[in-house]
Amino acid sequence: MSNAMDINDGNWDSEVLNSNIPVLVDFWATWCGPCKAIAPVLDGLSIELKDKVKIVKVNIDNCMNLAKKNGIKSVPTLLIFKGGKKVDSMIGASNKANILKKLENYIEKES
């Protein structure tokens, strides 16, 4: 079971666009091997970065409208949103270090 919240058309705006912290959205599919490979990495990051970044998942087979609206052409695709806008993306499976490096650009620095 994933620690990442499942996102659909009904909660997209409230959980992603209106979030007060950066959101990493994992567009995935049940039949996608690389998606299954990065799932544990994203679960770990969702715990590690709990109050700094929200990590959510969109099953493209169940939410084709969201996939189309966000220009998803392959999975896994990771999109990063901040302030309601898409600010970065990664296509394909990636390791924890690469995902963290991208996220660090959008996490508020503690003073």
Which residues are annotated as catalytic?
Answer: 32, 35
**Six-digit token string for 103:** 């996220």
Q: Residue 90, Cα to own-chain centre: how many angstroms?
A: 10
DSSP structure class, residue 91: E
Let me know: does 51 contact 20? Beta carbons within 8 Å.
Answer: no
